[in-house]
Amino acid sequence: QVQLVQSGPEVKEPGASVRVSCKPSGYTFTSYGISWVRQAPGQGLEWMGWISAYDGTTNYAQEFRDRVTMTTETSTTTVYMELRSLRSDDTAVYFCARKGCGGDCYSADFWGQGTLVTVSS
């Protein structure tokens, strides 16, 4: 069955960087893109961007464009999301999700369990 397993919780100081990993299984890794979505405490969902696991093409949300990098590692079938220059309002649960449609579209059919990133001094 399809599963996406994410790395564990992180605590970072303001200004630092965090890298969250997402390891899908149960399907051909390169056949689907991976989206990243975050959720601040008590808030709604926020789309951060997505990466093609086929060729590494990325599309980042405007507000994260200068601070986020999404990468894939085909040898280990792992996807990474790095967020730099962390601020306190980056404290959130970060989800990876399999992109359930092709091209410019949004649908996420399988989700990781989420990774809590806490930014605090």
Partner 1 sequence: QSVLTQPPSVSAAPGQKVTISCSGSNSNIGNNYVSWYQQLPGTAPRLLIYENNKRRSGIPDRFSGSKSGTSATLGITGLQTGDEADYYCGTWDTTLSGGVFGGGTKLTVL
Residues of this chain that bind partner 1 (CB under 8 A): 35, 37, 44-47, 49-50, 59-62, 95, 97, 100-101, 104-114
Determine phi and psi for 88, rounding to 5 degrees.
-60, -30
Residue 37 or residue 86: which is nearer to partner 1 going by CB? 37
Report CA Rg, the chain: 14
| Smallest distance from partner 1 to CB 14, Å | 25
Residue 15 or residue 102: which is nearer to partner 1 going by CB? 102
| Smallest distance from partner 1 to CB 5, Å | 12
Q: Are 73 and 56 in contact (CB under 8 A)?
A: no
Residue 53 or residue 108: which is nearer to partner 1 going by CB? 108
**Amino acid letter, residue 48:** M
| C-alpha 3: how far from chain center | 15
